[in-house]
A and B are shown apart, each in its own frame.
Chain A
Amino acid sequence: MNYLIPLLHILFLIIALVFLFFNVIYVKEVDKARDHLEVNLSKTAENLLRINAISSAVGVIIISFLFFLNI
């Protein structure tokens, strides 16, 4: 049982990192698509994508902090 909690921490950290990585690349890809297709996302949608990426980063920081706190 002792090793299970840190393992689950690592698992959740990896999942959050994968989503953070995905979000960062996704924002760049959406920018590229917008330039390529010349279809502008509305400011709200664009900001939401960026806020989503930033919140993922904040989430990863919190998870890592909790992980190191628990070790």
Chain B
Amino acid sequence: MEKPIFNFSKKYFSKILTLPDEKLVVARRKHFYVLLPSLIFVAFFAFILIYAFYALFSFLLVSQSLLITSIITAIIASLSISAKIVADWYFHFYVVTNKRIIEISHAPLFSHTMCDVLLSQVRCTEIDVKINGIIHQLLDIGDIIVTFDRPTHQEEFVFYNIKDPREIGTILGDEFATATNVVNQPAIWSDVKKEIEDNKNKNTSKFRFIEEIFPGR
């Protein structure tokens, strides 16, 4: 087992890791790069707003105090929105333990979402790592798509914009294989074949008709 990957301190998550013998494997939040477009947009919007106020209160409705007031208000608003964007990013993270996967998205004052997948209740069929674009390649950012085969339907769990997706994908693959005992289980077709051969030898089949898919093998 490789060394666990965190960008959190290991002493945290005692309130999240509640199952017996649950151990933390990976704890990650999205890369800081994902914040940049939103922050740049806010800064650009604030700049446009300040420029508009400057034009309005310098030429149309001349008032020095109103100009200062409006600029201060625009700065306060843009700083508050930026702080909210950063805090939302900070409280959105993925935690993988040897028992489950948890996605926590907490926007203080606004919303709280917690998505929990128990690894014992699902079968992981596929782990895809996707890195798109030059910037993502350079910064080593990508998505990890984990496909689960649930009793009723197939579902995907996506880790968006994670740093070191290849390394984490490998760790997740190992961990899920261990958690669901896939490594030790024989493939489903080998069970069927063995049963057919056993029934042939005993000549006491519990079924009336047995049709071999590949006769003679």
Give the B-binding residues of A (Cβ under 8 A).
1, 4-5, 8-9, 12-13, 15-16, 19-20, 22-23, 25-26, 29-30, 32-33, 36-41, 45, 48-49, 52, 55-56, 59-60, 62-63, 66-67, 69-70
Contact = CB atoms under 8 A, between A and B. Distances in A.
A70 B84 CA distance: 33
B16 A26 contact: no
B171 interface: no
Interface string B185-208: 000000000000000000000000
A31 to B, nearest CB: 9
Contacts of B72: 12, 16, 59, 62-63
B65 A9 contact: yes
Nearest to A20: B76
A19 B77 contact: yes
Contacts of A4: 61
B93 A39 contact: yes
A66 B108 contact: no
Nearest to A8: B66
12 contacts: A5-B63, A5-B66, A12-B69, A30-B87, A36-B15, A37-B104, A37-B106, A41-B90, A49-B83, A55-B76, A62-B68, A67-B69
